[in-house]
Every structure is written in structure tokens, then in C-alpha cells.
A and B are shown apart, each in its own frame.
Chain A
Amino acid sequence: QVQLQESGPGLVNPSQTLSLTCTFSGGSISSADYYWSWVRQHPEKGLEWLGYISYSGSTHYNPSLKSRVTISADTSKNQFSLMLRSVTAADTAMYYCAIGGSGTKIDSWGQGTLVTVSS
């Protein structure tokens, strides 16, 4: 059974870089035809897709964050990561990692990790 687990600091200073890791179990991160996404949810708000890294290593980001976000993968550890630079209070949110096939895009979610941007 697929399981995803986010990890990383729960508190980040303004202007710094938010870094989160998602560890995948129940399969291989290198499996063909899968996409590994990050999604965030501001408090009491809806869902915002941040970007993905594919099984082939290609990436694509939400244009609203494109210049600040990087998603990478470490296949040896079955992990993929999110970096969001120059954060502000507006980046305070629950961050989820998710996996999906090439058609369905999001099939399963991690439990999420709350990140607060504050000094």
C-alpha cells in the first residue's frame, strides 16, 4: 500500500527557504508514469497545486510560484523534496505531497505538515 510522509521544519523565518521532504513507501519513486506533486492549503482555505516532478525527472511549477519553487527527487532514498525561497507570512500553510498516474494526476496524499512563516 502506498504511503507518503512529509517531513521538515514547522517554523521558517521570513525571507528564508522552506524545505520539505516526502518519503514514499509501498513502491518505487522511479516507477514509470507517475507524477509526484506538492499541494498546499492555507488555513481554512482551498487547495493549491505547487508543482510536480515526474518519473523521468521533468518538473513543472505553478506559474504563481514558478520563480521561487524547486522540486527535486532522490531516487536512492525514495524521496522527493520541495524548496520554496523567499517565504513570507503568506506562505504559511499545510503542505501535502501527493502521487498520481499520468492520467489521474493525484491518487494518494501524505498526511500533510504545517509550516508557519514567522520570526
Chain B
Amino acid sequence: DVVMTQSPLSLPVTLGQSASISCRSSQSLVYSDGNSYLNWFQQRPGQAPRRLIYKASNRDSGVPDRFSGSGSGTDFTLKISRVEAEDVGVYYCMQGTHWPPITFGQGTRLEIK
């Protein structure tokens, strides 16, 4: 199974500042069609996860453009610029290239300083 490793696991951020979360996979996530099937999810307190980014860098509809995804191969990054209070929660990366099974990162908890 592909192991997804996120860092940091805890991320205190000042309002208005930027935040960056790293996600590394134990194998390249490039599929035979050239896509990297790497999703990013946000889980606010008490809520279900919602997808922010798919195929490593594509923002979902309704997601603020403060959120951006990048990376390829085994290294991926979620960047949040100008962090707002509503961004508090846990962020997960997930790979769907080498499945089954789908595997998730451990989660990164973003909090406001």
C-alpha cells in the first residue's frame, strides 16, 4: 500500500499569514494517463471532510483561490495564503493512483496563533 506522510502534523498560523502543508507518498503518484491522483481535503471541527484540490493542483468549485495545490511524483504541497479564521481544521491528502486501497495522510491540524 502507498504510505502518505504529511508534515507538519500541527500548524499554528497567524491570521493573514500563509501556511504550507507537505504530503509525500511512498511511490510516485503519476498514473499512466499522466495525471497525479492526489486530493486535498479540509475537515472543519464537527464537519465531514470536503475536497479542496483534485489531481494535485485543480481547485474545486467554490473553494477560495487562497488555496492552491502543487507538486508531482512523490512530493505535494497545499498552500493557504492569507489564512482566515474559517480555515481552522484538519487537512488531509489522499492518493487514488495506486488503488485499492485509497490511502490518506495522517492529517495536519491548522490552528490560529
Contact = CB atoms under 8 A, between A and B. Distances in A.
Given A106-B39, A106-B51, A107-B54, A46 B92 contact: yes
Contacts of A109: 48-50
A47 B101 contact: no
Determine the main DSSP class of B at the interface with A: loop
Contacts of B31: 103
B37 A105 contact: yes
A111 interface: yes
Interface in B92-113: 92, 94, 96, 99-107
Nearest to B102: A49
Contacts of A105: 37, 39, 94, 96, 99, 102
B97 to A, nearest CB: 9
A16 to B, nearest CB: 25
A110 B47 CA distance: 10
Nearest to A64: B101
Interface residues of A, number: 23
Contacts of A103: 31, 33, 35, 37, 55, 96
A46 B107 contact: yes
Contacts of A96: 48-49
Interface string A87-119: 000000000100010011111111110000000
B106 A62 contact: no
A81 interface: no
A100 B37 CA distance: 12
A46 B104 CA distance: 8
A70 interface: no
- Nearest first, the 8 A-B pairs at minimum CB distance are A105-B96, A49-B102, A60-B100, A47-B104, A109-B48, A104-B54, A62-B101, A46-B107
Interface of B: 31, 33, 35, 37, 39, 41, 47-51, 54-55, 92, 94, 96, 99-107
Interface of A: 37, 46-49, 51-52, 60-63, 96, 100, 103-112
